[in-house]
Amino acid sequence: MKAFMKKCPLVMVTIVIALVVAATVVVKSFAFPAAGNKAQETHGNVSSSLPQSAVSSSCAPSNVAGSSKTVSSAGSAASHMQHKPGSSAQKRASGFKSSGKEYFSDALFVGDSLTEGFKDYGGIDNASYFCHVGLSIYQLFEHPKTDFSTGLTLEQTLRKKKYGKIYMLLGINEIGTGSTDYFVRHYSNAVTKIRSLQPDAVIYIQSILYVTPSKASGESVFNNTNVRKRNSGLKTLADGKNVFYLNIDSAIDDGNGNMHEEYSGDGVHLKAKYYPLLSTYIEEHTV
């Protein structure tokens, strides 16, 4: 044994550590055998206890709500005129209207790497951003992550300055975690929390972005059936007064409920040149 230790120190050290690790894992799984299952159960229970506080049946803003809100600045009318008459008429029917880029000067965009890309390539430079690659809804307040450039958590960001609009784009990272109801409940909690920190802001919930057909094929997690399930849950969080649901997927839809194949290099993120599709959609859907 001693001779072996002398001749094979690295092998010995590795074996000893591996045995210790293995022993720890075994002891842990014997001592707390149900640890994993418990977590599962919690996820399951959640589904039945969805709080109804922020949930409302109306998903798109009504005409009344849209017209009563006068958020737009002088320039917005001008830019409104530039849009195709047909499409803006449609927008009016759904309660949304077009605004110019000035609209976003007091807006905060909150999200994961998709928002990061939107910040870099969406062409909306006067807005504020809070993004963190890999961000999930559970990491806004419960296990807070910080923005890469400011170093602040979302709570700190929201306490620091007053925002007129808050755009949220989250949900693809956690698409495999928890049930749809569990996710929506946490999303709802996050909206409530943001509301308490920014009572006057309009909150826009952006739909989770579709993935491309090639990404979705053979995927049990990252597929558009899952995305749609969660999106229909998110829709219910809108109240038509100051929480609105934006179906940004319609800007990148290939007609079959997927992201256009050529819009993405990895099936999830938009290529830089396609981010303006999202900003145009958002500009055309303001209240």
Partner 1 sequence: MYVCLQAHGKGVISCRKGCDSLTFPNLYFIFAFLPCALIAYYLVPEKYKNYVLLLSSVIFYGFGSWWQTGLLAADTIANYFMTGLFSGKNAKNPHRREMFALTVAANVALLVWFKCHPPIPVGISFYTFQIIAYQIDVYRNDIPREDSLLRFGTYTFLFPKLQEGPITRYDEVSDQLKRHVCQKENLEYGFRIFVVGLSYKVLLADKISGLWKQLSIIGYESVSTPMAWLGMWAYTLQLYFDFHGYSLMAIGIGRMFGFMLPKNFVTPYGSTSVSEFYRRWHATLGRWFRDYIYIPLGGSRAGIKRTILNLLVVWTLTGLWHGVKWNFVFWGLSLFVLIAIEKLFLRKWLDSHPIVGHIYLLLVIPLTWMLFANTDVSSIGIYFSRLFPVVSAGIDVNLCDFSEYGLSYAPYLLAGVACLFPQPEKFLLGTKKYQKAVVAILSVLFWVCVVSIHRSASNPFMYLQF
The residue ranges that bind partner 1 (CB under 8 A) are 3-4, 7-11, 13-14, 17-18, 112-114, 117, 120-121, 123, 133-136, 148, 172-177, 218-219, 221, 264-266, 268-269, 271-276
Q: Is 253 helix (H, G, I), strand (E, B) or coil?
A: strand
Contact between residue 208 and residue 241 where contact means Cβ atoms under 8 Å apart? no
Tokens of 209: 């972005």
260: CB partners within 8 A, 6+ apart? 212, 252, 253, 254, 274
In angstroms, give the least distance from the CB of 44 to partner 1. 18
What DSSP state is assigned to residue 34? T
In angstroms, give the least distance from the CB of 136 to partner 1. 6
Strand partners, 243: 203
| Choice between 97 and 230, CB closer to partner 1 | 230
β strands within the chain, DSSP E: 107-111, 128-131, 165-169, 202-206, 243-246
| Choice between 198 and 231, CB closer to partner 1 | 231
Tokens of 33: 């055998």
| Choice between 170 and 238, CB closer to partner 1 | 170
In angstroms, give the least distance from the CB of 269 to partner 1. 5
In angstroms, give the least distance from the CB of 102 to partner 1. 21
| Choice between 156 and 177, CB closer to partner 1 | 177
Contact between residue 191 and residue 203 where contact means Cβ atoms under 8 Å apart? yes
CA distance linking residue 249 with residue 118, whole number of Å: 14
| Choice between 72 and 223, CB closer to partner 1 | 223
CA distance linking residue 181 with residue 78, whole number of Å: 42
| Choice between 107 and 135, CB closer to partner 1 | 135
In angstroms, give the least distance from the CB of 188 to partner 1. 21
| Choice between 18 and 81, CB closer to partner 1 | 18
In angstroms, give the least distance from the CB of 39 to partner 1. 11
In angstroms, give the least distance from the CB of 157 to partner 1. 19
CA distance linking residue 166 with residue 26, whole number of Å: 47
Of 208, 235, 234, 239, residue with least CA distance to 221 = 208
In this structure, the chain runs to a length of 287
